[in-house]
Structure 1
Amino acid sequence: MTTTSFSPTHWNTSASVWRTVLRMRVTLYKRQFTGGRAVLKVIAALFGVLGATLLCLRASGTNGDYPELVSGTTSLALSTIGVMWILMPIMSGLSDDNLHPRHFQILPLEPVRLARALFSTSLVGMTVPITALAAAAIPIYAATHHPAALPLAIVAWPTTVLLMVGTSRVAMLTMSQLLHSRRSRELALLAFSAIFGGLYLLQFPLQSRLDTVVGGDVTWPLTVAHSIPFAWGITSVDAAAGGAWLLAAGAVLALALVDLALLWSWQHLVVRYFNGKVAESAGATSLQLKNQGRDIRTGWRASRLGSVISRELSLWHGDMRRRTQLLSVAIMTLVSGFGPLISSSIPFSAAWGAWFLIYLAMAAGSNLYGFDGASMWHLVMIPEAAAADVRGRQIAWAIVMTPFVVVATAAVRIFGDLGTDRLAVPIAVGISMIGVGAGLVVAISAKAPYPVPEMKKTFSFNTRGSFNGSSFGLIILGIVIFAATTAPGVLLGALLPSPLNYCAVPVAVSIGALGAWIGGRVAITRMQREPDRILFAVTTT
C-alpha cells in the first residue's frame, strides 16, 4: 500500500504541504460554489470586475485643467479597496479565506511551511484576481501619464495587491489570537462598529461636496489619499513625474518592506498558534456560573412557550453572534432615526428610519436555527415541540426589536418637525411590520437555514459565512411582502381625517397577527416534516 497524503513524512515537505492545502481550498470552493451561493458569487464577481475596469479606465483618462484629480481619485479608490479588505471580512463575512490554522492543529506539520502554504494558496479564488485587476490602474496610470515611471509602477502593482491581502489576513489572525475573551470581543465589536458607522455617515457629507473636489477647489482629500499605503504606487509615479526619483523609489521600497513585515507577521502568528501560546476562548460568564446547577425556570418560564421565550431572550443577550446582529440594528437606529435630524446631507427622511429598521431587524433574525447549529437536535427528536419553539422565537424577536423601533419613531416626532401630525401612520406601519416581520423571521429561518461561524474559533463579527441564495432571495422578497401588508395602514392613516384615521391601528394589528400566524405555520410545518434537513443545513459548511 502506498503512503497516504496524510503521513508525516509526506506532509513535511514544502511542495507536498502546498499542494495538499491548495487541493483542500479548491475542494472547499467547489462545495461552496453551488446553487444560490454560486449565483451570488458570480454576480458579486461581475460587479467587482466592472468596478475594477472602470477604475483602470479612470486611471488612463485625463481631466482637462486638473490632471491631478486623476491620480487623486485613483489613489482614493485604491485606499477604499484596501480598507474594504480589512473591514468586510470582520463586519459582513464577505471573505474568500476558507482555511485557517486551527483546521490543522492536530496534524504533525511544520508550522512555518504550513504558514507559507496557507498564505500563498489564499491568493487563489475570485477576490484576489479582481483586486489585482483594480490595482492594474497603477501601471496603466504610469503608461498613459508618465511612461518613464512605468518600471516602478510594474513593481508597485503586485506589492500593492499583496499589501491589501496581507493586511487583511494578518489583522484577522491577530485579533483571533488576542481577543479571546468575551469582554475583549465585545469591546472590539463596539470599536469596529463605530468605525464602520463613522465611515458610513462620512460618505454623505463627502458626496455633497464632491463637486468642489472634482472642480479642483478642494484638494486635501486627494492629498490624504496619496499618503495612505494602499496608494503609494500612484504616489511613486507622481513623484517620478516631478523629478523626485528618490522619493518614487522610496515609496515602492516601502511597499515591499511592509509586505515583508506582513508575511513575517503571518508566519509568526501561525507558529505562535501551533506552539500553544494562544489562550482558549473564555467559557461561561459569571452569571452562568452562578446559576449553574440551579433551575431558574419559575412562573411563566416554566411553561413550554415561556421556556423558549426565556431561552431566546438570554441568547439575544448572551450569544456574541446574535449580539452582533443586534448592534447593527442599534447602529441603524442612530443612523436612520437621528442621523437625518442632525445632518441635512443624509439623503433620506428620518420618518422612514423605523420602517427600514424593522426590515433590517428581520434580516438580522432570519437565521435563528443557524445560530443554534447542532444544539437544535432535540427538535429533530421531538417534532411536537416545534410549535412552541417557533412561537417562542417569534415573541422573543418582537420583544427584542420593538424598543429600537419605538426609539426611531419617537426621535423623528420629538426632535423633528412632524410632531403628532398623522401619528396613526407610523403606529400602524410599525405594528403591522413587527407582526409580519415575526412571521418572516421564523419562515426564512426554517426554509433557508445556513451554518454560522463560531466566533470563538475565528475573529469575525459576520453571520454570513455560509450565506445561501435562498435566504438572500427570501429576504429580498420580504420587501414586497412588507410593502403589500403595510399599504392598508398607510392609506387609512394618511387619507382619513383625524381621529378616524386611527382605525388604521386595529387593521394593522390584524394584518400583523395574520402575518405572524402564517409565517409561524410555514416554519412549524417545515420543522415537523423535515427537521433533519434543517439540522444538516446548519451543521454542514
Structure 2
Amino acid sequence: MVAQLIGVGTSSPGPAAPRLGAAETVALFVRLKLRLVGNGLMGSNRRLIASLIGTAAGIGMAVAGSYFAALLRHADSADAYVVLVYAGSAIVAGWMLLPIFVFGIDESLDPRRFVLLPLDRRALLVGLLAAGFVGVPSMTTLVVALSTTVTWSYGIVPVVYAVVGGVLVTVFCVIASRTVTTALSEIVRSRRIRDLWSVLGMLLVGLLAVLQVGLPSLAELATRSVLEDIAGLLAWTPLGAAWAAPYDALTGEWPLGLARLAVMAAAAAGLVAIWGHALRRTLESGGAPVRGRPSARRPGRGELTPGWARRILPSTVTGAVASRVLILWWRDPRQRVSLLIIPLILLAVVIAPSMAGIQDETLVILAPGIGTLIGLMMLNHTAYDGTAIWTHLVVSLPGRVDRAGRALGSATWALPVVVLASASMCLTIDRPDLLPGAIGGSVATVLTGLAFAAVSSVVIAFPAPPASANPFITPGGGNVAVVLQQFAGGLVVGLVSLPVYVVLGLTIWWRPEIGWGLLIAGPAYGLVLLRLGNRLGGRYLDDNGPELLSRITPTRT
C-alpha cells in the first residue's frame, strides 16, 4: 500500500511507475482509512464497544433527522424554510466547531504522517478529503441533508435543488472539519500560540456562559419577523445557503436558489484553498515543533515551585510529588486549559446571576458543584504524566505516596477556590448564615472527587493528548469511550457526594444551623474517602504499574 501511495512499481525494475490518478488515490485512501479503523477495533474491546455505541447514535440521529424532515412536508413551506435554515446552520456550525472539542484531529490520517513520503500535495488533499467521508458523522449528515427532498417534494425542481444542496453541504462540512483540524495541528505546535489559543477559547466559552443568562430576555424579542430576518441573513452564508435553495425553487425564484448554491460551492472551494495552504505548511515544516525564543532565566536561578507553595507543602516525598503536580497544573498547556475553566465557571455561577438580578438561595447549591467539577477534572490525571511516570516506577515509589501527592498538589489550589466561591455566593444573595454549610459542602465535594480520581486515574486511565498537540483531543480515536468513562465517573462521584448535597439542602431549606455540623463533618467525610481512595489506587498502582504505563502511552497505528 505504501508503494502505491508513493507511485513506485514493485513488480518490475526500471523507472518509477506513473503516479496514481485521482480515482485511484481516492480508492487507496478510503481503503487505508477503513483498514486503520478495522485494525483499531480489533485491537481493543473498548474501542469496539465505543464504535458500536457511536454508530448506533449516528443511526439514531439520521433516523430522527429524516423523520423530522418528513414531518415538515406537512407544514407551511415558509415555516419549513425557517426551521431548516436554523437547524441546518446549527449542523454546519457544529462541523466547524466540534472538531476542536469532540472529534479532534483524526490521528489515523494525520497529514504529518505523510511528510516523509514523496506525495503530491494535491493528491494528498484529494485522498484526505475522500477519507473524511468514511465515518458515521459524514454519512449521518448526508442522510439528513438528502432527507430534505421529502420536505420539498412538491416538484422536480425543488427536489433537484435539495439533492444538490445536500451533497454540497456535506462536502462543505467535511472540508470545514479537515481545514480546522489541519490548521490547528499547525497552530498548536507553537507553545506561545497554543497557550494564546487556549486562553481565547476559554474566554469565548466564558462569554457564551454569561450570555446564557440573557437568553430568556432575548427569547422574548424573537418575534416571527425577527426570526425570518435572521434566517434571511443565514440563507446567504455557507451555514444556511444550501438549506434555503429548495424553497426558492418552490416559490419560482429558481435563479435566487441557484445563486445560493453557488455561494455554497464557492465557500467550499475557498476552504479547499485554505486547507491546501495549511497542508503545505505542515508538509514543508516536516511536523517539527515551532520553537519560540529561549527563556532568559539563567540556569539555577529561582525555584520552580512558588514560594507560597514551598511554605505550605511538607518537605517529604509526598510534598515533592505535590510540588511537581502543582507546577504541571500551570506549565502544562493541556492542564492549563482545564485550570482556566474554573474562573469562567465562577464567573457564570457567581457574577452572572447577580447581573441578572437572581437572589435565590438555591444558588448556594452550585458552590459544592464547583468542587465536584474540580474532582472530575482529575479523573484521568495520571495519564498526563505519559512516559514520565516511569520515574516513579523505577524508584519503587509507593503507590499511596503517589496518590497522596497528586491529591495534595491539586487540593493546594482547589480548596481556596471553592472556599472563595462559597463565600462569594452566600454574600451575593445576602445569606451569610449559609456560609458554614456552603464551605463545608464545597470542601467535602473536592475531597470526594479527588478520592475517586485517586482510583479512576489508574484503573480506567486512557491516553491523554500529547503535550505538543491540541489539548482537546484524545489519541487513538477513543473519544466515545472517553465520554462514557467520564460520564460513569461523574455518576459515581455524584452518588458518593449525595449525602453532602442532602445535608446542604437541609441547611438551605430547613435549619441553617445544620451548616455548622456540615462544616466539620463534610471535610472529615471527604478525608476518610480520600484516604481510602489513595490506599486503593496506590495498591492498584503497585500491582499494575507497567500495565498502566503501557495503557496511557499513545500507540501509533
1:304 matched to 2:303: no
| Post-superposition offset of 1:237 | 1.9
CA displacement 1:55-82 (0-9 Å, x = unmatched): 4333343599964232112111111112
1:453 matched to 2:468: no
* Alpha-carbon contact 1:91-1:461 (below 8 Å) kept: yes
Q: Distance in 2 between matches of 1:280 and 1:77?
A: 39
Picking from 294, 306, 328, the partner of 1:315 is 328
Structure-2-length-normalised TM-score:
0.84
- 2:451 corresponds in structure 1 to 439
Over 3 Å counting, the alpha-carbon distance change for 1:39 and 1:408 in structure 2 is farther
1:254 matched to 2:256: no
* Alpha-carbon contact 2:464-2:552 (below 8 Å) kept: yes
Instruction: Note the 1:164-179 alignment, pairs <5 A.
Output: 164-179=173-188
1:355 matched to 2:368: yes
1:534 matched to 2:548: yes
- 2:12 corresponds in structure 1 to none
1:108 matched to 2:118: yes
* Alpha-carbon contact 2:452-2:530 (below 8 Å) kept: yes
Deviates more, 1:275-284 or 1:188-197: 275-284
* Alpha-carbon contact 2:370-2:442 (below 8 Å) kept: no
Q: Distance in 2 between matches of 1:528 and 1:206?
A: 51
* Alpha-carbon contact 2:188-2:468 (below 8 Å) kept: no
CA displacement 1:226-275 (0-9 Å, x = unmatched): 34312111221222233332221111122122222222332333233222
1:520 matched to 2:534: yes
* Alpha-carbon contact 1:489-1:505 (below 8 Å) kept: no
CA displacement 1:84-119 (0-9 Å, x = unmatched): 212222134456663211122233333332222122
Gaps of 5+ in 2: 10-16
- 1:423 corresponds in structure 2 to 435
1:406 matched to 2:414: no
* Alpha-carbon contact 2:25-2:126 (below 8 Å) kept: no
* Alpha-carbon contact 2:99-2:180 (below 8 Å) kept: no
- 1:155 corresponds in structure 2 to 164
* Alpha-carbon contact 1:449-1:538 (below 8 Å) kept: yes
Amino acid at match of 2:136: M
| Post-superposition offset of 1:173 | 1.4
* Alpha-carbon contact 1:213-1:219 (below 8 Å) kept: no
| Post-superposition offset of 1:295 | 7.5
- 1:30 corresponds in structure 2 to 38
Instruction: Note the 1:50-199 alignment, pairs <5 A.
Output: 50-62=60-72, 67-93=77-103, 98-144=108-154, 147-199=156-208
* Alpha-carbon contact 1:448-1:470 (below 8 Å) kept: yes
- 1:265 corresponds in structure 2 to 274
* Alpha-carbon contact 2:245-2:260 (below 8 Å) kept: yes
Over 3 Å counting, the alpha-carbon distance change for 1:138 and 1:335 in structure 2 is same
Amino acid at match of 2:92: G
Q: Distance in 2 between matches of 1:218 and 1:510?
A: 54
- 1:334 corresponds in structure 2 to 347
- 2:497 corresponds in structure 1 to 482
Q: Distance in 2 between matches of 1:462 and 1:57?
A: 32
* Alpha-carbon contact 1:74-1:137 (below 8 Å) kept: no
- 2:14 corresponds in structure 1 to none
CA displacement 1:390-427 (0-9 Å, x = unmatched): 1111011112323432343233222224x213333212
- 1:391 corresponds in structure 2 to 404
Amino acid at match of 1:171: V
Over 3 Å counting, the alpha-carbon distance change for 1:268 and 1:95 in structure 2 is closer
Over 3 Å counting, the alpha-carbon distance change for 1:6 and 1:61 in structure 2 is closer
Deviates more, 1:296-305 or 1:124-133: 296-305
Amino acid at match of 2:455: A
| Post-superposition offset of 1:201 | 5.0
Deviates more, 1:526-535 or 1:293-302: 293-302
Amino acid at match of 1:78: G
What SS is found at the alignment partner of 1:530?
Answer: helix
| Post-superposition offset of 1:364 | 1.6
Picking from 213, 220, 238, the partner of 2:247 is 238
1:373 matched to 2:386: yes
* Alpha-carbon contact 1:135-1:160 (below 8 Å) kept: yes
RMSD between superposed Cα atoms in Å: 3.5
Aligned residue pairs, count? 535
Q: Distance in 1 between matches of 2:280 and 2:414?
A: 43
| Post-superposition offset of 1:324 | 1.2
* Alpha-carbon contact 2:458-2:541 (below 8 Å) kept: yes
Q: Distance in 1 between matches of 2:130 and 2:173?
A: 14
Amino acid at match of 1:408: A
CA displacement 1:177-229 (0-9 Å, x = unmatched): 24543222222222223333444555565467658758667544433443431
Q: Distance in 2 between matches of 1:167 and 1:13?
A: 26
| Post-superposition offset of 1:501 | 4.4
